[in-house]
Amino acid sequence: MRKVRVNSFSISLDGYAAGPNQSLENPLGVRGPELFHWFFSTRTWKQMHGHEGGSTGVDNEWAQRGMENVGAWILGRNMFGPLRGEWPDDLWKGWWGEEPPYRVPTFVLTHHPRRSLEMKGGTTFYFITDGIHLALEQAKHAAQGRDVRIGGGVATIQQYLRARLIDELHLAFRPILMGSGENLFAGINLEALGYRCTEHVSTELAIHVLLKKET
């Protein structure tokens, strides 16, 4: 059974998945990178970015689970870049340089049409203006039987959660407080939507939690 998944989604103890004030200088918002500290230290992340080394323990197992069997990604526009409104030109190609780490068809939700972008290493960005349901349909088709991973951010994930389209959600709570930013739990009732926690384990850097949709 192929799934629609969220993995390695990092949040603070108080529920914030990104810091405030995202910008070109702060793609993850102010203090956002602290949320990903557990992930950046894993072998999985380092390999994705062509580096040696990295941790191989529990954090890495969760990071790796997140990358396995993913046939397509869906990203909210703010995860793709700092620009808002109409695309001024085709120059912005994401935060990740010429060879993004996705390596499969990647669907970017936006209100503004744009031609698709074929990148090095297998990633093609498709810009979808028809809403979350059609984006998911296209992603499922492109994934060819593998899973669809929804990358974020909070607004995108909340939309898919409200539509009960996400099968499982791996959250990595970092033992930090953010105090402001985008809160995953604000304005949404995950319990009423049928999600339950089925696994939890903590490491020095993160508390990993798996939420699954009841069938």
For residue 127, give the nearest of 86, 67, 71 by alpha carbon: 86
Q: By CB under 8 A, is residue 14 in contact with a copy of itself? A: yes
Single residue of 56, 129, 144, 202 touching a copy of itself by CB under 8 A: 202
Single residue of 134, 155, 163, 201 touching a copy of itself by CB under 8 A: 201
How far apart are the C-alpha atoms of 92 and 83, rounded to whole Å?
Answer: 9
Across 162-184, b (16+ Cβ under 10 Å) vs e yields: eeeebbbbbbbbbebebeebbbb
Give least dist CB 4 to a copy of itself, A: 19
Single residue of 132, 136, 161, 209 touching a copy of itself by CB under 8 A: 209
Q: By CB under 8 A, is residue 179 in contact with a copy of itself? A: yes
Report residue 201 as tokens. Answer: 């384990």
Single residue of 25, 90, 191, 214 touching a copy of itself by CB under 8 A: 191
Give least dist CB 180 to a copy of itself, A: 6
Give least dist CB 141 to a copy of itself, A: 32
Question: Cα dist. 150→7, 147, 154 in Å?
Answer: 8, 10, 10
Per the CB < 8 A criterion, the answer to whether 11 and 184 are in contact is: yes
Q: By CB under 8 A, is residue 178 in contact with a copy of itself? A: yes
Listed in sequence order, the residues at least 6 apart from 115 whose beta carbon sits closer than 8 Å to its beta carbon are: 90, 127
Single residue of 33, 162, 176, 212 touching a copy of itself by CB under 8 A: 176
Interface residues with a copy of itself (CB under 8 A)? 13-15, 171, 173, 175-180, 183, 185-186, 189-193, 195-197, 200-202, 207, 209, 211
